[in-house]
Structure 1
């Protein structure tokens, strides 16, 4: 019984093809949470794939109905070994974004794993089926070698992450005692680079808002009324330019973050963005001046215009449009006054002379960031470095957004995320894929983390 033999067990599981068989079966289930007719598959994924795998490890599981009517259920499970051992909460999601089958190339199917060299293609394979499959297989490797995990484990698994995790926070609040733990360990999102094992400690928040301008007179002939009736599209374009300028810089002071904390700046100082093969070239002079690309992605706020609409772009007519709309997104770090965003945007537009723009907040999620000096961070770094002989890349938070506030804020946990994908994985797009070398390494390093949690010298030991 040893750490090295557990890692060898994990390697064998991958190299033998057993991991591919399991992952292929899971990808074949079209668990698109945006589709109402997928409800039976979403429940089946919990019962047949997740609950069955956990039962073999001695977990007691229950499928719990979502407190939000019509939304997919959750799986909650636990394996409690000793009150003197640390307790880890695990999380994953089995739902995927729309398969978009017609746009996959080279006769690939979103519901079949296609192995092409180091790339394994399939919908949800990066987000999140390979990631939680790696973590479950790593638990199994430790259990097979040790005969127990060596720590207490709980899990909450959802099937609605791709539609905004409805009910997850309410579930965490309702089951606060049942989900009590020392820390969260979960996997989602990409590594900072494919070759670099990565951990992140939270995520940027996300705020979606809609701006709408209407012409009270309705659409009117542009020759007869142009120059005397305000054009909603022109008004909206100029209003947007007061929110974010032509270089991508936010112009609403109230939606800027506080200064970057020194310990965060230190952590991202050496990070490179867009350095992997296949990454897009970074735009010159784009974003907040005076910051590195890594600081812009991981330590600052960005405001993006996601969609715009006015008139009919496919069949334009010579008329001032009836209305114009834009959907915008603020990605923000801890310390941003995002709860007052609607008021801040409205006041800013009024100061700029735009008084008739309707502002609607459509969705939001809080920013989170565990203190990088938390002892669980050092524990995880040491464990991964022992398994990979590589220096770990530590991100104070992910550039994207995950439902980490449910765990960090509602449950009050230290949160450690260990991603197993990479930036070029094309998640949410046609030809989504993962890299076999990254998965093989991830399976071993997760086995090492779970093995080390069973040692006496861990932060949560009593």
Structure 2
């Protein structure tokens, strides 16, 4: 029977010897692009031919729900129940990737052929999310190889539509509560704070995307003959945006802000530095709320960004006042923000400032969720990661981006721990997406140590469920 240090050493040797690269290459080779419905067969094949056999070899009972309820998402649920009295971990991964952007990668790289250049392993899905869920699968395999058992139960949920908004995931979880029941949720997606920093994040910001349109007339009119006489929709739209967010990125409409920055969140973010990577853009001085630190702005507060805007053709302008203008805005929001009725809130603000001709319409919305930084599962996991690396663990209340965390935290009621095996400069969703070999190596060690502590060491906050009886 191997001890903790021996397992971590084997994990590092597996990466160093090329084993992890080879297995990841086989996963990257599946063109599981979910934005193209023609790839549905390939997505289902990834679940049935790549993931299910791995789980089965580890003693999991698998159920595949292809195109569940006739929708665009397929699910695989694997369950390994050693003893109902042991803690149960729910893990998650997504099989799908974004478009490969063939022909746009440096050095003529094929996005679906894993290639190495120094510490970078290039390939679509290497960082998001195939490399990350492979780390967790391999860690379970190493623990089983060392001990013959895990010492805890595992439910592994895979979906094939995360990159298209996880359609039907919430409904699937609601309908399969008993099948997905667990004591803690531990999974990997998104980036660390930095490449060098082991990180745990506890949730994700929500998002509301909405459009503002100033559709004033069908025709465009000569700017010399009609300038100063008819309303310019582009000028109007720019001023209307200024009602919501000023020219320095500060949200002006209180309805778009949370009620407060909780003390536990502020404490967790104290001293955290953002944008420290060599390829990261510099944080702009004077942008965003000046009373908040950069870390608080992106991990603890709300931001309103203009994603796109336009009137006429800015690349080929003519001497005419356009008839309409349109902008797409996105609010990223934290827990504590009430976004019910946001469309009407924005419209009232525009009307009140003299812009009733600008119309607001919500396009998409997804919820925010997180657990509290002082949850006992958080300190337990942070200590496990610290023991494995000798490095302090950064705790982020939530990532700035989006993940379907609300499904696990709100619907299934679980403490949610995300332990990412990527970093901000991985170029996910873009050409040249890559995984860093040092993160793959350290990530595999981290998860081996964490799973060892959950099962073999048994020092987690798990409290066995006590069934009460009544006379």
CA–CA separation in structure 2 for the residues paired with 1:258 and 1:398? 19
Q: What secondary structure, in the 3-state scheme, does the structure 2 residue paired with 1:172 have?
A: helix
Superposed displacement of residue 217, structure 1: 4.3
Which residue number in structure 1 is paired with residue 11 of structure 2?
10
Once the two structures are superposed, what CA deviation does each residue of 1:376-428 show, in whole Å capped at 9, x if it has no partner?
11111111111111110000111111110001111111100000101111111
Which residue number in structure 2 is paired with residue 25 of structure 1?
26
Tell me, yes or no, if structure 1 residue 312 matches structure 2 residue 313: yes
Q: What secondary structure, in the 3-state scheme, does the structure 1 residue paired with 2:103 have?
A: helix
Once the two structures are superposed, what CA deviation does each residue of 1:265-287 show, in whole Å capped at 9, x if it has no partner?
11111100111222111111100
Superposed displacement of residue 17, structure 1: 1.2
CA–CA separation in structure 1 for the residues paired with 2:460 and 2:198? 21
Which residue number in structure 1 is paired with residue 459 of structure 2?
457
Whether contact under 8 Å (1:298, 1:396) holds in the other structure is: yes
Return the TM-score normalized by structure 1: 0.97
Q: What secondary structure, in the 3-state scheme, does the structure 2 residue paired with 1:155 have?
A: strand
Segments of structure 1 that go 5 or more residues without pairing to the other structure are: none
Return the TM-score normalized by structure 2: 0.96
Whether contact under 8 Å (2:44, 2:66) holds in the other structure is: no
Q: What secondary structure, in the 3-state scheme, does the structure 2 residue paired with 1:334 have?
A: coil
Which residue number in structure 1 is paired with residue 292 of structure 2?
291
Whether contact under 8 Å (1:310, 1:323) holds in the other structure is: yes
CA–CA separation in structure 2 for the residues paired with 1:204 and 1:11? 33
CA–CA separation in structure 1 for the residues paired with 2:10 and 2:142? 6
Which residue number in structure 2 is paired with residue 429 of structure 1?
430
Q: What secondary structure, in the 3-state scheme, does the structure 2 residue paired with 1:355 have?
A: coil
Cα RMSD, aligned residues only: 1.3
Superposed displacement of residue 218, structure 1: 2.9
Q: What secondary structure, in the 3-state scheme, does the structure 1 residue paired with 2:107 have?
A: coil
CA–CA separation in structure 2 for the residues paired with 1:36 and 1:283? 40
Q: What secondary structure, in the 3-state scheme, does the structure 2 residue paired with 1:106 have?
A: helix
Superposed displacement of residue 68, structure 1: 5.7
Tell me, yes or no, if structure 1 residue 232 matches structure 2 residue 225: no
Whether contact under 8 Å (1:420, 1:439) holds in the other structure is: yes
CA–CA separation in structure 1 for the residues paired with 2:86 and 2:389? 26
Superposed displacement of residue 122, structure 1: 1.0
Q: 1:21-100 maps to which residues of 2 (within 5 A)?
A: 21-67=22-68, 69-100=70-101
Once the two structures are superposed, what CA deviation does each residue of 1:291-336 show, in whole Å capped at 9, x if it has no partner?
1111111111100000112112333232222321111110111101
CA–CA separation in structure 2 for the residues paired with 1:373 and 1:70? 38
CA–CA separation in structure 2 for the residues paired with 1:247 and 1:190? 27
Q: What secondary structure, in the 3-state scheme, does the structure 1 residue paired with 2:78 have?
A: strand
Which residue number in structure 2 is paired with residue 128 of structure 1?
129
Q: 1:263-282 maps to which residues of 2 (within 5 A)?
A: 263-282=264-283
Superposed displacement of residue 197, structure 1: 0.4
Whether contact under 8 Å (1:42, 1:95) holds in the other structure is: yes
CA–CA separation in structure 2 for the residues paired with 1:123 and 1:6? 29
CA–CA separation in structure 2 for the residues paired with 1:76 and 1:37? 24
Superposed displacement of residue 59, structure 1: 0.6
Segments of structure 2 that go 5 or more residues without pairing to the other structure are: 465-471
Q: What secondary structure, in the 3-state scheme, does the structure 1 residue paired with 2:15 have?
A: helix
CA–CA separation in structure 2 for the residues paired with 1:73 and 1:131? 19
CA–CA separation in structure 2 for the residues paired with 1:209 and 1:265? 29
Superposed displacement of residue 233, structure 1: 1.3
CA–CA separation in structure 2 for the residues paired with 1:358 and 1:68? 36
The number of residues matched between the two structures is 462
Which residue number in structure 2 is paired with residue 394 of structure 1?
395
Which residue number in structure 1 is paired with residue 469 of structure 2?
none
Superposed displacement of residue 67, structure 1: 4.2
Which residue number in structure 2 is paired with residue 331 of structure 1?
332
Whether contact under 8 Å (1:66, 1:167) holds in the other structure is: no
Once the two structures are superposed, what CA deviation does each residue of 1:32-66 show, in whole Å capped at 9, x if it has no partner?
11011111111111111111111111111111134
Q: What secondary structure, in the 3-state scheme, does the structure 2 residue paired with 1:360 have?
A: strand
Q: What secondary structure, in the 3-state scheme, does the structure 1 residue paired with 2:401 have?
A: coil
CA–CA separation in structure 2 for the residues paired with 1:72 and 1:170? 11
Tell me, yes or no, if structure 1 residue 322 matches structure 2 residue 298: no
Which residue number in structure 1 is paired with residue 467 of structure 2?
none
Q: What secondary structure, in the 3-state scheme, does the structure 1 residue paired with 2:157 have?
A: strand
CA–CA separation in structure 2 for the residues paired with 1:181 and 1:9? 29
Tell me, yes or no, if structure 1 residue 438 matches structure 2 residue 443: no
Superposed displacement of residue 365, structure 1: 1.2
Q: What secondary structure, in the 3-state scheme, does the structure 2 residue paired with 1:313 have?
A: coil
CA–CA separation in structure 2 for the residues paired with 1:37 and 1:161? 17
CA–CA separation in structure 2 for the residues paired with 1:152 and 1:70? 30
CA–CA separation in structure 2 for the residues paired with 1:339 and 1:414? 25
Which residue number in structure 1 is paired with residue 196 of structure 2?
195
